[in-house]
Structure 1
Amino acid sequence: MLNLQGKSKQLYAYQIYDASAGSGKTFTLVKEYLKLILIREGYQDFRKILAITFTNKAVNEMKQRILSSLFLFSSDADHEQNELFQKLVEELQIDADTLRTRAKNVLKEILHNYAFFDISTIDKFNHRLLKTFARDLKIPQNFEVVLDTDLLLAEGIDRMLGNARADDQLTDLFIAFALQKIEDNKSWDLSYDLSRVGSMLFDENHLIYLEELKSKDLTSFLNLQKELRRLLKKYTEKLRAIADNVLSLMDKADLEQADFSSGYFPKFIKKIQQDPTALDFSTGWKKEFGSTTLYPKKTAEHKKQAIDRLMPEFIRLWLEIKESYGRLSFLKNVYQNLVPLTLLNALQKEIDQLLEEREQLPISAFNTLISEQIRDQPTPFIYERLGEKYRHYFIDEFQDTSLNQWYNLVPLISHAIQSEDLQGNRGSLFLVGDAKQAIYRWRGGRSELFLNLIHRDDALFGISPKTESLETNFRSFQEIVTFNNGFFSSAVPYLNNKLYQDLFLKGNKQQHTSKKGGVVSINFLSTDVEDKEQAYCEEVLKRISH
């Protein structure tokens, strides 16, 4: 509720819009933003709004749409055909002349105080927070932001390998790992493996697990490596023993390879006996083992009876083989990745030293630093340090927000929504997103946050949100919309998460406009193509040309 000189106007404190592609998301964002800054004659309200999105392009688009709308509204042109203008007149319950006057005054204030027109990316906002709390976090006040973490990682690896010394545990580990790679017919170069594992240092998804490794020293990893070698040997010997047992049962029953369909079963068992470290269970007879007979029709009757009699024992041993091989494969995978993990702490130290020397901070560290140091600070203290106080928050592309990003914003938003200013006005939160368009999971984005908030499973602010779906696609033609609806609905059986099942089945009924037509074409490259990347580029160019 907003109090205006004894009168009140309804403003929803907490709104969520589920906006599919082409459904007018930016239009809705701009409309709600304009409502806040035009609802009364105090032309400084834009200073109390923070709008956050994920890309500079989206920031520039939203700023441009707001400013161009204000400029258009402040002109003397006839706005009867302008949908946004008419909606604002209706929802703000004011006449066209009043809206025109307010738009002109607000535009003037924004242009004269542009620094307070706060629409930014989440990374830029976090950067401001870190600058504000630099001394508390013991980081340089004028730190430089590192965007290219791949280059930083490569420099850290080169520095770590370059510092290797003779008669050192770390150096011995390098050598042992290189020799292991050679034995596996791989390049002895360690850089690739270290880069692959080292990239986790900059990934928010892995930080919670890597935190547990920080307390482990090199000796702990070496002891684990020793234990893994023992277990690998144990399961390898166990598989050979099972294979020996199966072949012994066949021998006692006087069964030969020819008694089985194409000799598949005894051949496979002999392979286990020779090398149990590289097995394949994907062929048809292996998948159906136990549900079909192992012998062909031409097998002698007494041999069939012997195989049928042994079948329960074969099934038991088969299941034991699969279980033991699964365990062996898991241990082997852990063992092969252990050395790079062992070196993570050493690599982190080298990278930290590089950052300290250059007074740099990787952009990937922003959310974690804020989460650890600032989140528990009293909200008024954070506002005081920032030098301004936001009352209204807009978050675009919410499906790509990470847990840390969201939890870092929650104290600020909660304080705005649950407290009142001197006029008795409360703040507000406006979220817009579409879980089907989530693309930032690789850097910690969690679309489940958005889905949970929509389904009201997460009442963070003590009030239920006003939720609304924008269901009409104004951008695409009928065939495109129909294909998208069908595609997402057909994906439902392959999803395990019920939230996503409901999203794709019930929430994917996007409507189309009167635009008929549109074409959807799916093409595949031949599997025989040698240079698939070149072939892909040529095919795309061909499609564009036509």
Structure 2
Amino acid sequence: MVKPLTVYKASAGSGKTFTLATEYIRLLVENPQSYRSILAVTFTNKATEEMKMRILSQLYGIAHQLPDSDGYLKAIQERTGYEPRFISERAGMALNNLLNNYNYFRVETIDTFFQSVLRNMARELDLTTNLRIGLNDYQVEELAVDQLISDLTTTDVMLQWILKYIMENIQDDKSWNVISQIKNFGCHIFRDDYKAVSHELEKKMQEPGFFEDYTQRLREIRQMAEDRMKQIGESFFQILEGEGLSIDDLSNKSRGIAGFFLKLQKGIFDSSIENATVAKTLGCPEKWVAKTHPQRDFIISLADSTLDDTLRFAVNERPRQWKLYKSADLTLRHLNQLRLLSSIEKKVHELNELNNRFLLSDTQQLLHSLIGESDSPFIFEKIGTQIEHVMIDEFQDTSTIQWRNFHVLLAEAMSHENTSNLIVGDVKQSIYRWRSGDWRLLNGIENQFSEQQIETRNLSTNYRSQRRVIEFNNAFFRHAAELEYLAQKELSNDEAEQLKRAYADVEQQIPASKQAAGHIDIRLLPGDDYEEAVLNQTTEIVSSLMAQGISQRSIAILVRTNSAIPLIARHFLAEMPEVSIVSDEAFRLDASSAVCLIVSALRLLVHPDDQLTKAAIVKTWQQDILRHSVSDNELLLADNDLDALLPPDYIQAFPALLSLPLYELCERLYAIFQLHDIEGQGAYLCAFYDQLTDFISENTSDIDTFLHEWDDNLCGKTIQSDESNGIRLISIHKSKGLEFDHVICPFCDWTLEHTGNVLWCRPSEEPFNDLPIAPVDYSQKNMMGTIYENDYLQEHLQTTVDNLNLLYVAFTRACEGLYVIGRRGAKGSRSALIEQCLPLVVDELQSPLIGDPQSPVLSGLEDDKAPLCFTYGSVIPSGVERSALPLGSSKKSPSVTSSSIERSPRSLDSARDDKGDHRDDKEGTREDINPFLQKATAVHVPVETFDNAPTFQQSNRSKAFTEGDDEETQQRRSYIQTGSILHEVFSTIRTVDDIPDALKRLQFEGVLYDEQTTPERISSLIRKRLEDKHVADWFSARWTLFNECTILSIEEGEVKERRPDRVMTDGHEWVVVDFKFGTPKPEHQAQVQEYMQLLASMGHQNIHGYLWYVYKNEILKIEA
């Protein structure tokens, strides 16, 4: 029996995209109309684009029986049992359907899908249909905090909260300026865990006196715990004093057991005070006193009768009191900020409503509140199509609330007959938990459905990497996962088992055809001059690879954080300037001299005394545009003469420039500084103007506000670039989904945990649980031994998996060579895990043949101060055929039989998952070329500028206002409005079948909104007009349509535009139709004649022209 849901657990390089595309195409082959009922979602726009292109290209390839699509054809034949010719015919039909109904090709990001649901529910949610989607949560939150602060009055209760917050900061020796702290903490309103309880939390905070009472109770608990332990410390010294003894009479004096009680006396009682001395002394009276002390016997007797009991009582009482003390302390720490969150959240909603904006981050919570606990997918019916097949890619990155929303839709789809639903993911590649991704959903997906509903399959064969790379990763991550599992000793077995289950499928099969190729090189360096040593080793590896003929574009450098990118880039610039480094950082807007000049010119306009900005403008103007060499010393000496080095149209026209609107001002600056003369700036400038347009549409367009936004956000925006003729330098997070022949991972020593993060916890004990959720500073020292201990352990497990997954993603990007550089002896870092695993890996991969050069080598193990070096396999120089290499496989490296997979230079995003797909490197014939796989050729597009004086157009609204609202006027307006709607419909539809969708679109856009323009009334008017046989023929499927297409012509040296309403051809004749809704006029006929003449001038023949007066349903044939 075919189960309605199939879950593919796809390890790296195992053909995930191939599987998804095959399943999608299979559904289309079985029913070419099924594209309307398939929904495929993934998590990035790039993945969406890749999936769409894969489906279209393979449909074309199958339809035209291209060799490149043989793998897909065979897979579909196996699944369906259809003959190849039948599959090809169906693929062609499906491709035609998709291209002609592209809006039904629903391969989209999860955010896009839920936004479409939201927009279609605008009426139910009291949202306007033209609302704007906001992406920058933090910008809105900062603005909300600024407005809250500026609106405060002396009587506001919030002012009192902030003043208390300031006083507490001062008492704790923290900054009194709390605004930045409030802004940073305020960002938590966008977190899913806060949103889930925000209403409950607000309700609690609104209870009269709750906050003050709760705060007071926790402070009392904290103080009582501290007083209790101080009292125990005092009692100890009272006993000594009563017996005529002092600290000096005890062993090691204040450094011995007496030191434990001294700390208690001072109110210090965390777990660190229970040291080895306490452990040795407890239960052993002889340890209390030195052997040479004259009163040794008396002190031993006293310890046996009294002191040891006091110590035992203190040791037993300490964790109980510490739990109360620290739990109260952690809960109190962010309470003042917590009660501000509700006010910040309200202000954010106010600003969004005021600006007709809806934040993307609010989508999931809003839809979830509508769905509730209901199984009814009524909200999904709003998207206007019946979804019968659901495919979810990268499921490991799904958040809990996204899954709750999707589960309803998936359950509905699974209830249909002959449904096929797909979930694809890999727990080991879950590295986006900071975006609320939850790998535990995929890890426990089997528990979400009954056994009869779900089938789990493992894609376990690695088609990406060479044999040695796969063997190493198999061994390394099996041992790494085991070591990490054993380290979770504080967790219950069931909870720790999650990690073992996540890596249960880590061992991948190796195609039998893969030769013994691939190279691993790991270097763990001692701590001396570590940073410089890592940088030198990185350039050394690159130099070695290039010396063996490896191209720069085949190499990638992956780093844990973006902060390492400029460090590495600068080192290459200094040591290997011949190497081209390609990084997103290089394509930031602030990397453009032209864009930076515009921004600096704006800055100088509002801050004319800023000499540094003026000097920067002068330098760019003189060097990059005028080509005059100018040194920094010359600029310093020029001082007040800098004005003479700037264009007069700028420096002498500040008042005039400041009077211009912001966009026009930037255009004017472009012209003044002749920025078109700087080569290679076009893409940056276009991107800058796009960002400027977006800014103006959402903000007040004053220069200072824009400069603030530039400094905070816009400067870091990047432009899209296909530049890949160099070494890629990117973060591990951005490398996910990509592959590279040779991967270098420098600074592979990041720490496991980062303090300073806030963890949202649900207090489990009274009276702490009176608050539904509490923000707690995350760290082992803070949370262990408190009511939040289990929260820490859970988060620690999550962090462990996150960091192991980061290593997995980095290591599995490599196809032929993996190079890792880390730190020797770095406890608590990824290097420490690597250092633990390498001896185990060597033992596993060691060849039984003595002296086998293919065996792994580990050196430096005996000397902790020396580098630890591991090598396995060897680099294959460029040009060496793989067939010349031995096939051999390790006894512990599983192999599978597969067709030979040739490796050839590829683009970064073309994953090797074409199972059994032979690639022929020879030039194909034109018939063998797949148009969907053709690479775009870079074309230089010059940017030309010209003055365009603004024009003024009178709004028709003023006419409606002056005419009044009498019945005759209203009828005339209705007549005109209906005509406009009919014109819009007739101009956009191809056939009669398109009418419902056109009306639905107009209703969605708010065009059809009153009783005079209901969809039913407009549809009735349209269908009456279509009863005419001429009109019916125009809107039949026999025509190829060109509706509302612009015809360009040159008249008297100027470009003129003409746009007929409808131009059609059936291959034999051409028909041009213009729709009119008013009184016939002579110029109407002249207009159609002009269209006909233009078509004739293009070389078309047999041209017929018509005027259709729609209200009268009168058709006039026009002679040319």
> Which category describes the TM-score, using the shorter chain as reference length?
0.7 to 0.9
State whether residues 418 and 426 of structure 1, in contact with CA within 8 Å, keep that contact through their aligned partners in structure 2.
no
Aligned in 2, Cα 1:225/1:280: closer, same or farther, shift over 3 Å?
A: same
- Counterpart residue number, 2:119: 131
Please state if 1:43 is matched with 2:43.
Answer: no
Aligned in 2, Cα 1:224/1:384: closer, same or farther, shift over 3 Å?
A: closer
Please state if 1:465 is matched with 2:454.
Answer: yes
- Counterpart residue number, 2:483: 490
Question: How many Å apart are 1:195 and its aligned residue?
Answer: 3.0
Question: How many Å apart are 1:38 and its aligned residue?
Answer: 1.1
- Matched AA of 2:259: K
What secondary structure is seen at the aligned counterpart in 2 of 1:389? Answer: coil
The structure 2 residue matched to 1:509, chosen from 497, 507, 510, is: 507
Aligned in 2, Cα 1:260/1:370: closer, same or farther, shift over 3 Å?
A: same
Aligned in 2, Cα 1:398/1:286: closer, same or farther, shift over 3 Å?
A: farther
Please state if 1:228 is matched with 2:218.
Answer: yes
- Counterpart residue number, 1:5: none
What secondary structure is seen at the aligned counterpart in 1 of 2:66? Answer: coil
Give the superposed CA RMSD. Answer: 3.2
Please state if 1:106 is matched with 2:99.
Answer: no
What secondary structure is seen at the aligned counterpart in 2 of 1:171? Answer: helix
TM-score normalised to the size of structure 2?
Answer: 0.44
Q: Which runs of 5+ in 2 are unaligned?
A: 533-560, 573-743, 747-818, 820-1120
State whether residues 451 and 499 of structure 1, in contact with CA within 8 Å, keep that contact through their aligned partners in structure 2.
no
Write the distance in 2 (CA, Å) between the matches of 1:147 and 1:525: 44
The structure 2 residue matched to 1:256, chosen from 244, 247, 263, is: 247
Aligned in 2, Cα 1:143/1:526: closer, same or farther, shift over 3 Å?
A: farther
- Matched AA of 2:92: K
CA offset digits 1:443-470 (Å, max 9, x no partner): 43332222222xx32226x833111111
Write the distance in 2 (CA, Å) between the matches of 1:255 and 1:472: 73
Question: How many Å apart are 1:416 and its aligned residue?
Answer: 2.1
Write the distance in 1 (CA, Å) between the matches of 2:502 and 2:115: 36
- Counterpart residue number, 1:307: 303
State whether residues 50 and 119 of structure 1, in contact with CA within 8 Å, keep that contact through their aligned partners in structure 2.
yes
Aligned in 2, Cα 1:527/1:57: closer, same or farther, shift over 3 Å?
A: farther
Question: How many Å apart are 1:16 and its aligned residue?
Answer: 0.8
State whether residues 4 and 453 of structure 2, in contact with CA within 8 Å, keep that contact through their aligned partners in structure 1.
no
TM-score normalised to the size of structure 1?
Answer: 0.86
What secondary structure is seen at the aligned counterpart in 2 of 1:426? Answer: coil
Question: How many Å apart are 1:504 and its aligned residue?
Answer: 4.5
- Matched AA of 2:449: A
- Counterpart residue number, 1:153: 141
What secondary structure is seen at the aligned counterpart in 1 of 2:196? Answer: helix
What secondary structure is seen at the aligned counterpart in 2 of 1:141? Answer: coil
CA offset digits 1:423-459 (Å, max 9, x no partner): xx43222111112222333343332222222xx3222
- Matched AA of 2:314: L
State whether residues 481 and 511 of structure 1, in contact with CA within 8 Å, keep that contact through their aligned partners in structure 2.
no
Question: How many Å apart are 1:400 and its aligned residue?
Answer: 2.0
Question: How many Å apart are 1:341 and its aligned residue?
Answer: 0.7
Question: How many Å apart are 1:121 and its aligned residue?
Answer: 0.9
State whether residues 277 and 329 of structure 1, in contact with CA within 8 Å, keep that contact through their aligned partners in structure 2.
no
Please state if 1:366 is matched with 2:367.
Answer: no
- Counterpart residue number, 1:270: 262
1:35-434 matches, within 5 Å, as 35-39=26-30, 42-78=31-67, 82-215=70-203, 216-217=205-206, 219-253=209-243, 254=245, 256-257=247-248, 259-261=250-252, 263-276=255-268, 280-281=272-273, 284-285=276-277, 290=282, 295=288, 298=291, 300=293, 301-302=296-297, 303-309=299-305, 310-374=307-371, 379=376, 381-419=378-416, 425-434=417-426
Write the distance in 2 (CA, Å) between the matches of 1:200 and 1:234: 32
CA offset digits 1:174-213 (Å, max 9, x no partner): 1121121122111112134323432221111232333321
Which moves more between the two structures, 229-238 or 536-545? Answer: 536-545
Aligned in 2, Cα 1:504/1:446: closer, same or farther, shift over 3 Å?
A: closer
Write the distance in 2 (CA, Å) between the matches of 1:125 and 1:398: 15
- Matched AA of 1:312: D
Write the distance in 2 (CA, Å) between the matches of 1:411 and 1:401: 15
- Matched AA of 1:37: L
CA offset digits 1:502-532 (Å, max 9, x no partner): 4146333333453543325364794998999
Write the distance in 2 (CA, Å) between the matches of 1:503 and 1:192: 42
Aligned in 2, Cα 1:238/1:377: closer, same or farther, shift over 3 Å?
A: closer
Write the distance in 2 (CA, Å) between the matches of 1:357 and 1:289: 69
Write the distance in 2 (CA, Å) between the matches of 1:539 and 1:391: 50
- Counterpart residue number, 1:521: 522
- Matched AA of 2:409: L
Which moves more between the two structures, 271-280 or 315-324? Answer: 271-280
What secondary structure is seen at the aligned counterpart in 2 of 1:97? Answer: helix
- Matched AA of 1:518: H
- Matched AA of 2:486: P
Question: How many Å apart are 1:153 and its aligned residue?
Answer: 1.5
- Matched AA of 1:445: G
State whether residues 485 and 497 of structure 2, in contact with CA within 8 Å, keep that contact through their aligned partners in structure 1.
no
Question: How many Å apart are 1:491 and its aligned residue?
Answer: 1.4
Please state if 1:30 is matched with 2:21.
Answer: yes
- Counterpart residue number, 2:800: none
Question: How many Å apart are 1:239 and its aligned residue?
Answer: 2.3
Which moves more between the two structures, 313-322 or 65-74? Answer: 313-322
- Matched AA of 1:444: S
Which moves more between the two structures, 21-30 or 523-532? Answer: 523-532
Please state if 1:449 is matched with 2:441.
Answer: yes
What secondary structure is seen at the aligned counterpart in 2 of 1:457? Answer: helix
Question: How many Å apart are 1:355 and its aligned residue?
Answer: 1.2
What secondary structure is seen at the aligned counterpart in 2 of 1:205? Answer: helix
Q: Which runs of 5+ in 1 are unaligned?
A: 1-9, 420-424
- Matched AA of 1:400: D
Question: How many Å apart are 1:144 and its aligned residue?
Answer: 1.6
Which moves more between the two structures, 529-538 or 425-434? Answer: 529-538
Which moves more between the two structures, 297-306 or 167-176? Answer: 297-306
Question: How many Å apart are 1:255 and its aligned residue?
Answer: 5.1
Write the distance in 1 (CA, Å) between the matches of 2:212 and 2:219: 11
Which moves more between the two structures, 251-260 or 349-358? Answer: 251-260
What secondary structure is seen at the aligned counterpart in 2 of 1:214? Answer: helix
State whether residues 202 and 364 of structure 1, in contact with CA within 8 Å, keep that contact through their aligned partners in structure 2.
yes
> RCO greater where, 1 or 2, for CA within 8 Å and sep 6 or more?
1
Aligned in 2, Cα 1:25/1:522: closer, same or farther, shift over 3 Å?
A: farther
* Greater C-alpha Rg: 2
What secondary structure is seen at the aligned counterpart in 1 of 2:518? Answer: coil
State whether residues 483 and 520 of structure 1, in contact with CA within 8 Å, keep that contact through their aligned partners in structure 2.
no
- Matched AA of 2:217: E
- Matched AA of 1:438: S
Write the distance in 2 (CA, Å) between the matches of 1:446 and 1:286: 43
What secondary structure is seen at the aligned counterpart in 1 of 2:322? Answer: helix
Question: How many Å apart are 1:321 and its aligned residue?
Answer: 2.6
- Counterpart residue number, 2:941: none
Write the distance in 2 (CA, Å) between the matches of 1:450 and 1:440: 14
Question: How many Å apart are 1:160 and its aligned residue?
Answer: 1.5
Aligned in 2, Cα 1:238/1:385: closer, same or farther, shift over 3 Å?
A: same
Aligned in 2, Cα 1:395/1:122: closer, same or farther, shift over 3 Å?
A: same
Aligned in 2, Cα 1:485/1:118: closer, same or farther, shift over 3 Å?
A: same
CA offset digits 1:79-102 (Å, max 9, x no partner): 6x8322222222221222222222
- Matched AA of 2:507: K
Question: How many Å apart are 1:395 and its aligned residue?
Answer: 0.6
